Amino acid sequence: MSPLGVEAVPGTSPISGPPSAWDYFTDRAFRGLARVSVWLILLLLACILWSIGSKATSGIARLGLGFLTSTTWDVGRQQFGVLPQIWGTLYSSLLALLIGGFFGVAMAVFLTQDFLTPRLAQMFRVMVELLAAIPSVVYGLWGLFFVVPAMRPIAGWLYEKLGWIPFFGTTLSGPGLAPAAVVLAIMVLPTVAAVSQDALRLVPYKVKEAAYGMGATRWEAILRVLLPAASTGIFGALVLGFGRALGETMALAMLIGNSNQISLSLFSPANTLAALLALNFPEAGPQEVQVLMYAALVLLGITLVVNLMGEAIMAISSRGAVKR
């Protein structure tokens, strides 16, 4: 019907034309494939939960909740309990969070609040990323041959002078809680630093300028205006760092000493859930595997709750930022 007499017949032009049947087919197939992969992710998560959960059921049926409150782990007598491991997991992670959280937040403030020339800031940023890139087993090796020997005289001195304080109640006779916590802190630091930097960047520049305009010094602006404004995000960063520490395995398996005891002392050996799994799984018989699956389920539960809390806090903090 065109005035020039050129008929636009669908599918005949060598340059342009509507999609062919093959195009339609590949389009459909590709989109279907993409949808299937998304379902695969969900399936994977479900499989992880199911495989650990179902393998743990016989352990749960046999030991019940007493598993969580009993303190002995004796394969020979078939007695199993993970209270010392739960205690060690929480205690070591909390110590690591105290140290790593402080340095992580300090690093985030340092990198975002114009303390540095761009080039120096880049250098420190690379440093934090390198800290995150080094594999945990290498940190474990370093801890064994550097942190433990370096810490032993300090621990001995603290024990002698301040031994009446429960935290210094024992000497460091090799691996123990304190070196493990120090190494764990180094591994928590990059997570906390990265997430808190994002939180600090979300605070509008105007807020800081307003504080300066009122005559605040730089640190008054940081401590009384910026950090409170970013507090939700920083709290989220700390929770995520805590989650990271709870699940960390290798450095702890190498450094914490694997002793099933509950002690406040920083220098006594302890154990964690992840280290328990790492050390006992390779040689476990079928009976013990069921129990270890139960322990894995406990670890999964704890980390899941902490991480979901962290994500929820982060979601709240970024929603607040959008409103501002």
Partner 1 sequence: MNGQSVAAPPAVLPDTGLERSPFERRALRSLLLTVGIWVAAVMAGIPLVSVLYMLIVRGGARLGREVFVELPPAGFEMGGGFGNAIVGTVVMVGIAALISIPIGVLSAVFLAELGPDSQLARVARFAAKTLTGLPSILAGVFAYAAVVLTTGTYSAPAGGLALAVLMLPTVVLTAEEAIRAVPKITRDAAFGMGCTRSQVIWKVMLPTATPGILTGVMLAVARAAGETAPLLFTALFSSYWLFEGGRPHLMQPTASLAVLIYNFSGMPFENQIELAWTASLVLVLIVLFINVLSRLVGNRRA
Which 172-211 residues touch partner 1, going by CB under 8 A? 186, 189
Q: Write out the binding residues for partner 1, residues 225-284 only, by CB under 8 A.
A: 240, 243-244, 246-250, 253-254, 274, 277-278, 281-282
- Pick the piece of the chain touching partner 1 (CB under 8 A) from 63-71, 153-161, 164-172, 303-311: 303-311
79 φ/ψ angles, rounded to the nearest 5 degrees:
-110, 125
Collapsed DSSP state (helix, strand, coil) of residue 79: strand
Minimum gap (Å) between residue 306 Cβ and partner 1: 8
Residue 21 touches partner 1, criterion: CB under 8 A: no
By the 8 A CB rule, do 275 and 218 touch? no
Residue 12 touches partner 1, criterion: CB under 8 A: no
Minimum gap (Å) between residue 174 Cβ and partner 1: 12
Nearer to partner 1, 16 or 164 (CB): 16
Residue 155 touches partner 1, criterion: CB under 8 A: no
Nearer to partner 1, 120 or 162 (CB): 120
Burial of 114 from C-beta contacts in 10 A (0-12 / 13-18 / 19+): exposed
Minimum gap (Å) between residue 111 Cβ and partner 1: 8
- Of the candidates 13, 31, 174, 231, which one interacts with partner 1 according to CB under 8 A? 31
Minimum gap (Å) between residue 289 Cβ and partner 1: 8
In angstroms, rounded to a whole number, what is the distance separating the alpha carbons of residues 309 and 323? 21
In angstroms, rounded to a whole number, what is the distance separating the alpha carbons of residues 308 and 242? 12
- Pick the piece of the chain touching partner 1 (CB under 8 A) from 75-83, 133-141, 156-164, 226-234: 133-141
Question: Residue 38 corresponds to which amino acid?
Answer: V
Nearer to partner 1, 263 or 296 (CB): 296
Minimum gap (Å) between residue 315 Cβ and partner 1: 10
List residues bridging with 79 in a β-sheet.
Answer: 74
HSE (side-chain half, CA atoms, 13 Å) at 180: 33
Q: If you ran DSSP here, which 8-state letter would residue 146 be given? A: I
- Pick the piece of the chain touching partner 1 (CB under 8 A) from 2-10, 25-33, 60-68, 197-205: 25-33
Minimum gap (Å) between residue 264 Cβ and partner 1: 25
- Of the candidates 133, 205, 285, 322, which one interacts with partner 1 according to CB under 8 A? 133
Sign of the C-alpha dihedral computed for residues 168, 279, 82 and 80 taken in this order: negative
- Of the candidates 140, 233, 236, 257, which one interacts with partner 1 according to CB under 8 A? 140
Radius of gyration of the chain (CA): 27
- Of the candidates 93, 196, 290, 303, which one interacts with partner 1 according to CB under 8 A? 303
Name residues whose C-beta falls within 8 Å of residue 237's C-beta, 6 or more positions apart in sequence: 104, 105, 108, 191, 192, 194, 195, 196, 199, 310, 314
- Pick the piece of the chain touching partner 1 (CB under 8 A) from 5-13, 105-113, 164-172, 194-202: 105-113
From residue 180, give the alpha-carbon distance in Å to each of 47, 139, 247, 258: 32, 10, 13, 11
In angstroms, rounded to a whole number, what is the distance separating the alpha carbons of residues 258 and 254? 9
Q: Which residue's structure tokens are 């099933």?
A: 260
- Of the candidates 23, 78, 153, 231, which one interacts with partner 1 according to CB under 8 A? 23
